[in-house]
Chain A
Amino acid sequence: MTLALSTARQKARRRAMLLVAPLFLFIVVTFVVPIGQVLFLSVNNDGFSQTAPKLGAWFLANTDGTVPDEAAYAALAADLDQMRREKTAGAAGTRINDVVPGSRSLFTSSARASRDFKPPYKEALIAKDARWADPRVWHAMRAAANPNSLDYYIIAADRQRAEDGSIQQVPPERRLYIGLFASTFAQSALITFLCLMLAFPIAHLIAHVRQSTANLLLILVLLPFWTSLLVRTSSWIVLLQRQGVVNNVLVALGLVDTDRRLELIYNNVGTIIVMTHVLLPFMILPIYSVMRMINPAYVRAARSLGATSWTAFRRIYVPLTLPGVAAGSLLVFILAVGYYITPALVGGADGQLISNMIQYHLSASNWSLAAALAFILLVGVLVLYWIYDRLVGVENLKLG
């Protein structure tokens, strides 16, 4: 009897699973697979290992630290000759160039001359280009002979392989990514804070006016959603530029000297202003939806029990809005971290975010580095989400 019941239940559960199967499949195809591919690209680059098989075999036969001998150079010469015939020197050079800048032409020019190389190959190759004796090139080739490597994470951490093969920091003038990650997170936090400060009173207003007025206000909040992001960003350029509306008004009012017009765009300030505007609705809507549900009797009860209006607001109203505040903040923060169109258009020199670098490397066909940076960004967001869950609790999230 019990057995039959549990079998029936299991059957029902399995049938219920069939209903969500399409969604599950959709998530796998559109979410899990692409992220898996990104992760794979960031640790896998066969540009060199595919094109230099003989050198790969030599690296396998000789352990790390072996000084490249004549056999190694002979393998290299044979691989270069194959690259010339198959026209793959560009691909091999690009892979090594990512780790040792300036070495792409080392491969293309040496491959072009590969017909003339005669034994002893070591001398012939070094005579062609002295960089063939550079231990850094050999370390890079050894690492790249295995298609799977952490090279791109080393680059993304502003580090490189030294001549002795150890990993060290790159010189200060090339330390880019760690600083950019930090400033991306700091800037996103600031934008989230500004959005919260602006959205809280607006949401409160919309939640407590007459329904007809509230609808009108909501349309005003949603209006930007129906306008293209590019149009909105360009309008901000018109408003904020040196000869723009805001500066003209300030000059006309005599607040700003015409020679000292404010620089509101093409810098960090521009990025913050425009992104705050673009992301504001994502903060207003969750807070509004929570505020609308708060029973006004709670605050009234607090007041009748002797609380001042400030105490009632602080101890009763604000805690009740927290699920919406938390949801809005998380949403805005995660969106801000990944933004790139707005900073690209109005960011100027110092208003860049890490996503702009990811986009740059994608367009420059350095997919592995783009993938490594994107994955670090993803991990960073997940870590923040985990901290958030420990502090606030995901179950308190309320989006609407």
Chain B
Amino acid sequence: MKKYLLATTMFMAIVTGAKADVVVMSWGGDYGAGQVAAFNKPFTEATGIKSSMVDSDNPTALIKSMVEANNVTVDVVEVEYPDAIRGCDEGLLEPVDPAILPASADGASAKDDFMEGAITECGVATVVYSWVFAYDNKKFPQGPVTMADFFDTKKFPGKRALRKQPKFALEMALIADGVPAADVYKVLGTPEGIDRAFAKLDSVKGDLVWYQANAEAARLLADGEVAMSSGSANRFFNAAVSEGKPFTTVWDGQIYDFAMFVIPKGAPHLEDAKKYLAFATDTKQLAGMATELPFGPARKSAVPLVHFFKDGKTDIRPHMPTNPDNLKNALAVSSDFWADHESELTERFNTWLTSN
């Protein structure tokens, strides 16, 4: 195992090269390209410090192997929120002092300007991604507007697609049942709350279609298999804007989570990595990132700066998870809740699925 780790990290060292001063590892694809445009290029222009981007499918696993093999070759890594918490708990990440983060243009400190929970002990959020539902607007010209409508098969007949996991399905059920977004995890933490969520799911059980992979959400909707589908907001945006599908996204009861920049323990260019992290999470840079892709910036002050999608004509503001209108009844995912209850609720969820 050690040998394997060593080989991997040596390979990484060759790939990433020793020239760049800050090596950033992210998810590649459109997303990585967007980050190069929004963060890396302006960073090098502004500071003269070179930076390069490395792609990875699963940055968290690589951080773990690099730190454990004591051969860290990247400086800044983007991970999902639960992994930023877990990595910090397991001692794989450098703590980040919020004092290094720049204030917003109107003088609000970083702590006030970032969304709640966006700065953690070891990480700083860049964007918000979101779980919502969308419908085929050819089927419902007077479309559903609330989460409750998703569960109202009398008013809006047709099948609904949900991802086959308790996470998100239970939150959606409670929001639809009238629990304010802020109280969802409090209610779900009690046996009565869990019963209540399952009772709500029960009421539409016969009309649910379950899928496993995120990509299926938009496909089921496009194929006409379902009238409404829950799924990742950027996929519905992509299907609607880039492929011209007649989808409308409903933001009421959206469930959002952060993507985080973290610094692995033992990063070779720690000081420059901190500079990069502070620069990239500045208001202007986060706004630039949100123009590249329909994710919301993690800073409130960046929201007004975003207007058009990069195609130059689509107004991206209504499609951002962080648009104030979209945040009215929104829920931040609780990683702590799911770390505690995932196995128990998955058992219950699967029992519920297989019973009639």
Contacts and interface: CB of A to CB of B under 8 A. Distances in A.
B224 A243 contact: yes
B353 interface: yes
Query: Which of B209, B224, B341 has the most chain A CB atoms inside 10 A of its CB?
Result: B209
A86 B91 CA distance: 8
Given A87-B91, A104-B339, A242-B225, A352 B350 contact: yes
Interface bracket on A: 20 to 34
Interface in A16-41: none
A259 to B, nearest CB: 10
Contact of B90 (A87, A105, A242): A87
Contact of B347 (A88, A89, A103, A176): A176
Interface in A346-368: 348-350, 352, 357, 360, 364, 366
Nearest to B351: A176
B11 interface: no
A173 B198 CA distance: 10
Contacts of A179: 351, 354
Interface string B332-356: 0000100111111011101111101
B57 interface: no
A189 interface: no
B351 A97 contact: no
Contacts of B198: 173
A179 to B, nearest CB: 7
Contacts of B89: 87, 89-90, 108
B305 to A, nearest CB: 37
Contacts of A348: 209-210
B354 A243 contact: no
Contacts of B245: none
A345 B212 CA distance: 7
A175 interface: yes
Interface string A86-120: 11111000000110011111001000000000000
Contacts of A97: 340, 343
Contacts of B278: none
Nearest to A361: B343
Interface residues of B, number: 31
B33 interface: no
A173 B351 contact: yes
A176 B198 CA distance: 16
Interface string A145-174: 000000000000000000000000000011
A114 to B, nearest CB: 13
Contacts of B205: 349
A44 interface: no
Query: Which of B89, B91, B209 has the most chain A CB atoms inside 10 A of its CB?
Result: B89
Given A87-B91, A98-B343, A349-B210, A174 B351 contact: yes
Query: Which of A176, A180, A345 has the most chain B CB atoms inside 10 A of its CB?
Result: A176
Contact of B352 (A104, A173, A241): A173
Contacts of B341: 101-102
A266 interface: yes
A105 B336 contact: yes
Contacts of B339: 104-105, 108
A349 B208 contact: yes
A86 B343 CA distance: 25
Contact of A352 (B336, B342, B353): B353
A122 B123 CA distance: 34
A183 interface: yes
Contacts of B235: none
A41 to B, nearest CB: 16
A344 interface: yes
A373 B208 CA distance: 28
A97 B336 CA distance: 13
A349 B354 contact: yes
Nearest to A98: B343
A241 B219 CA distance: 12
A344 B212 contact: yes
Contacts of A349: 164, 205, 208, 210, 353-354
A350 B354 contact: yes
Given A241-B225, A352-B350, A174 B344 contact: yes
B223 interface: yes
Contacts of B212: 344-345
A366 B354 contact: no
B344 A102 contact: yes
Interface string B43-54: 000000000000
A98 B164 CA distance: 21
Contact of A105 (B164, B340, B346, B356): B340
B111 interface: no
B1 to A, nearest CB: 14
A16 B29 CA distance: 58
B200 interface: no
Interface string A192-230: 000000000000000000000000000000000000000
B196 interface: no
B348 A174 contact: yes
Nearest to B213: A345
A179 B351 CA distance: 9
Interface string A308-330: 00000000000000000000000
B226 to A, nearest CB: 9
B213 to A, nearest CB: 9
Nearest to B90: A87
6 contacts: A90-B89, A97-B343, A103-B340, A241-B225, A349-B205, A349-B354
Given A105-B336, A241-B223, A350-B353, 17 more contacts: A86-B91, A90-B86, A98-B343, A101-B344, A104-B340, A108-B89, A173-B351, A174-B351, A179-B351, A180-B354, A241-B225, A242-B224, A266-B209, A348-B209, A349-B205, A364-B346, A366-B343
Interface of B: 86, 89-91, 159, 164, 198, 205, 208-210, 212, 223-225, 336, 339-344, 346-348, 350-354, 356
Q: Which 8 A-B residue pairings sit nearest by Cβ, starting from the closest?
A: A101-B344, A87-B91, A349-B353, A176-B351, A90-B89, A102-B340, A243-B224, A105-B340
